[in-house]
Structure 1
Amino acid sequence: MYLAVAARGFRRYASYRAATAAGVFTNTVFGLILVYTYLALWDERPDLGGYDQAQAVTYVWLGQCLFAALALQGGGVEFELMERIRTGEIAVDLYRPADLQLWWLASDLGRAAFQLLGRGVVPFLVGGLFFPTALPSRFDAWAWFAVALALAALVSFGIRYLVALSVFWLLDGTGVNQAMMICGVFFSGMVLPLNAFPGGFGDVARALPWAAQLQVPADVLMGETGVAGACAFQAMWAVVLLAAGRLVQSAATRRVVVQGG
């Protein structure tokens, strides 16, 4: 059943062809802007964050590849879930003979798979064709990257699911959405690699769950971290966030309150 839900999520987003094309164009343009910004920055600081220029360029294009797939700025199934909680349609979901969290996780993984293939691959290929990159040639590096990417998707969903469930109490998700967008972009490393953050602030940023979404997969791909420790870090946050989501879901669904009654 959950495979069918994931497939439905994939097909659903595949139907928005114009939006997908616009997303590919947007990610490519933003990638170009960031690449030239990074090149200028790395000219001044050649070893910033422990990366050389080729690694910095690779980091940029990987970020553009994963931006929509991991919903780093939001925009996954959590928006629909928030609206269903607000209107009370969540009651229909609770009556389904399926686990609420697994249902939405499956749907989000289907969405993520399409966004990766439909929106993320082209900008990544553009970057690889026109700029020097630091992509590995070994199969095992790509295999570990796939594992890190799957764990990143779980962490991403875990964060956004908790944010969505907050609407059971807040009844409106506008403010919490804005906070999620800011934290997602900044602490995932989309603006600047977290390895470049200084001192204790950098240590804290790299210990937060958002680091598991972009910084860790990037370091795994480029061989800048031990894969066992990196994947263990991601798995730890995935378990913590999904377990927290389970607990919050249990508390929230004991008494459903929606606007209007």
Structure 2
Amino acid sequence: MLAFGRIVAASFRQYSTYRVATVAGVFTNSIFGLIRASILLAAISTAGGELRGYDALQAATYVWLGQALLAPIEAFGTREVAERVHEGDIAVDLLRPMGFLRLHYARKLGRSAFLLLARGIPPMLVGALLTGITLPTDPLSWLLGLLAVVLAITVAFLADLIVNLTAFWLVQTRGLTVVYTAVMNLLSGFLIPIAWFPDQLIALTRATPFPAMVQTPIDALSGRLTPLETLPQVGIQVAWAAVLTVGAWLLLRAGTRSLEVQGG
């Protein structure tokens, strides 16, 4: 556990050195948030001031909380593990004293912690000043909301890792990553609230892990769900984290059985 914590801290420090990229990310995130907010607010105005349970302030809160989660969950996917598989560097990871999944999860937590603080919260503050946001006042809602954020990062990490681990069998994973990213951004509730989907699509979406990545933490932190209503959603996040952990472990085990690295 001590080694795990040190890797988390080292990953946090590593990403804190990219100051120019951080500032650029905050600026881009804020502009993108303003564009999204204007579109959703226009839709609500056209609908008469309320659309499926969202008024203007709730929609603005949804947008800015989503922007805060964009970088920590890495909504546009990663390719680091896939590249390490293709280049053979994964052989080094497999020889480390810490397990592969724990190692990369520790790095993910450190990276996401920095991204949340440095690139997630500043755009949310911009949104609070320009459009206003609403947040819960109940301390229990904050506690469950923060837990939901950690679990959202975990579920997103595992799902993305599974996509990356297909590199054991695919020469190029870029196409699969693009498809996964498009589906995840839609079904997670990042682009528009899941409540705005057609009823049939809502049922399909709820059967996937994607809402656990974005919609659940947003609902918890925006106050749309009471603590009692949040608990089952957090339970669903935990269940998906367990299922995806098993899936990632099985893929890793199958892949390493057939792994061949030139020179040894």
Structure 2: how far apart are the matches of 1:207 and 1:110?
29
Matches of 1:32 and 1:260, distance apart in 2: 52
> What corresponds to 1:180 in structure 2?
180
Structure 1 gap ranges (5+): none
Instruction: Kindly indicate whether the alpha-carbon contact (under 8 Å) linking 1:87 and 1:259 is maintained by their aligned counterparts in 2.
Output: no
Matched residue, 2:193 = 193
1:160 alignment partner, SS class? helix
Q: Which residue number corresponds to residue 247 of structure 1?
A: 250
Once the two structures are superposed, the pairs formed by residues 216-255 of structure 1 within 5 Å of their partners are 216-225=216-225, 226-255=229-258
Whether the aligned pair in 2 keeps the contact of 1:171 and 1:258 (CA below 8 Å) is no
Deviation at 1:100, TM superposition (A): 0.5
Post-superposition offset of 1:195: 1.2
Offset of 1:153 from its aligned partner? 1.0
User: Superposed, which structure 2 residues align to 1:1-40 within 5 Å?
Assistant: 1-40=3-42
In structure 2, the residue matched to 1:50 is: 53
Q: Structure 1 9/49 Cα, relative in aligned 2: closer, same or farther at 3 Å?
A: farther
Q: Report the secondary structure of 1:70's partner residue.
A: coil
Aligned: 1:41 with 2:56: no
Matched, 1:125 2:125: yes
Q: Which residue of 2 is the match for residue 97 of structure 1?
A: 97
For the residue of structure 2 that corresponds to 1:219, the secondary structure is helix
Q: Could you tell me which residue of structure 2 aligns to residue 150 of structure 1?
A: 150
Q: State the partner residue of 2:206.
A: 206
Q: Structure 2: how far apart are the matches of 1:158 and 1:68?
A: 16
- Partners of 1:169 and 1:258 lie apart in 2 by 14
Is 1:69 the counterpart of 2:98 in the alignment?
no
What secondary structure is seen at the aligned counterpart in 2 of 1:4? helix
CA apart distance, 1:224: 2.7
Amino acid at match of 1:12: Q
Q: Percent identity at matched positions?
A: 40
1:140 pairs with 2:143:
no
Structure 1 distance, partners of 2:114, 2:24, is 15
Query: How far is 1:223 from its partner?
Result: 3.1
- State whether residues 42 and 53 of structure 1, in contact with CA within 8 Å, keep that contact through their aligned partners in structure 2: yes
1-structure distance, mates of 2:38, 2:210: 25
Amino acid of the structure 2 residue aligned with 1:211? P
The answer as to whether partners of 2:152 and 2:214 remain within 8 angstroms in 1 is yes
How far is the alpha carbon of 1:171 from its aligned partner? 2.7
Measure, in 1, the Cα distance between the counterparts of 2:258 and 2:102: 21
- The verdict on how the C-alpha distance between 1:204 and 1:260 changes in structure 2, with shifts beyond 3 A counting, is farther
SS at 2:169 equivalent = helix
CA contact 2:163–2:176 (8 Å) conserved in 1: yes
Deviation at 1:6, TM superposition (A): 1.2
Following the alignment from structure 1 to structure 2, what is the Cα–Cα distance between the partners of residues 80 and 38? Answer: 34
Q: Judge conservation of contact 1:49–1:193 (CA < 8 Å) in 2.
A: no
Indicate the RMSD between aligned Cα atoms, in angstroms: 1.6
SS of the residue corresponding to residue 50 of structure 1 reads coil
Using structure 2 for the length normalisation, give the TM-score. 0.93
Query: How many residue pairs align between the two structures?
Result: 258
Structure 1 residues 124-133 or 233-242, which shifts more? 124-133
Supply the AA of the counterpart residue of 2:189.
G
**Partner SS, residue 253 of structure 1:** helix
* 2:91–2:261 Cα contact (<8 Å) kept: no
The Cα of 1:170 is off from its aligned counterpart by 0.4
Q: How far off is 1:207 after superposition?
A: 2.7
Is 1:169 matched with 2:169? yes
Q: Aligned equivalents of 2:106 and 2:99: distance in 1? A: 11
Output the TM-score relative to the length of structure 1: 0.94
1:259 positional shift: 8.8
